[in-house]
Amino acid sequence: MLLGQNFRFGFYSCPPEERMKAIKRAGFDSVMFWWGSEFDRTDAPKEVRFKLAKKEGLEVSTVHFPSTNAHWLWFPGDAGRVYAGQIVEAVEDCARYGIRNLVMHTTRQLITQEPGPYGLENFKCVLDAAQREGVVIALENTRFLRYNQYIYDNFSSKYLGFCFDTGHANCYTPDEDPLEQFSEYLVTTHIHDNYGKNGSPDGKIAPSGHLDLHNLMGDGNIDFDAIFKRLKKLNVLEFNLESYCFEHSKYWGLSMDEFLKISFMKLKKTLSI
């Protein structure tokens, strides 16, 4: 079992080397990366991050493909093919570095067109590469579960998986059950909290209108005891915190070490139920 912390947890003014050391000091044995270049200025290039993780003895078993253009998966022509090619490059990166799971979104916010054959054609290129390289493509639950289901209905492979995101399930699909719907594909997790459709404890919309706050466990209304009981029954072996220390967080103002230590202890305590 791996207890992981997403590398982008806040404290971005702190050098990447120090953040990686702090993750290790807190007790985590794994770190999860954003496998893109958008945050290189604060986080360093992904190749550097990987070396830093290995230097600290941290496993890197799951990385996240950038979601900015996730809707391109369903585009015909060059746009769809180029996007699929970008994911294939990430798959090849994962194989080169020994990373087992590549998480990806199947939609982008509210703008994604309906799922269709162009998406299947593009995804086939991705899955073919995953099977060739021995890397699992883990589809994450976001706003619209039917896109994930459409892919699962059309492909069968041990290299097609599912990443269960607790926060997305709570705020985007509270009347659905992605963990039950996609349980047979479950390979990894994103663990974070929020206040569901209410946005905040007082029922007001969250800062900047966001519901997907990515708060630390306990800073929201998710019943993690119940969720972790289900996860353990499904024998998932990766528990990755995807929580951040932002200004809206009740943990804002803690030091980096304090925040990470609390994060690790909350995760470990909930796993012991």
pLDDT band at 108 (very low <50, low <70, confident <90, very high): very high
**Statement: residue 204 has pLDDT above 80:** no
Calpha distance 74→119 (Å, rounded) = 4
- Whether 2 and 30 have beta carbons less than 8 Å apart is answered as yes
Calpha distance 227→247 (Å, rounded) = 27
Percent of the chain with pLDDT strictly greater than 90: 90
pLDDT tens sequence across 136-186: 999 999 999 999 999 999 999 999 999 999 999 999 999 999 999 999 999
- The pLDDT value given to residue 36: 94
- The pLDDT value given to residue 198: 80
**Statement: residue 273 has pLDDT above 70:** no
Give the containing element (helix H, strand E) for 31: strand 30-34
- The pLDDT value given to residue 199: 78
Q: What is the mean pLDDT of residues 123-129?
A: 98
pTM of the model: 0.96
In DSSP notation, 54-84 reads: HHTT-B--EEE---TTGGGGG--HHHHHHHH
Alpha-carbon dihedral of residues 213, 243, 53, 40, nearest 10 degrees? 20
pLDDT tens sequence across 50-89: 999 999 999 999 999 999 999 999 999 999 999 999 999 9
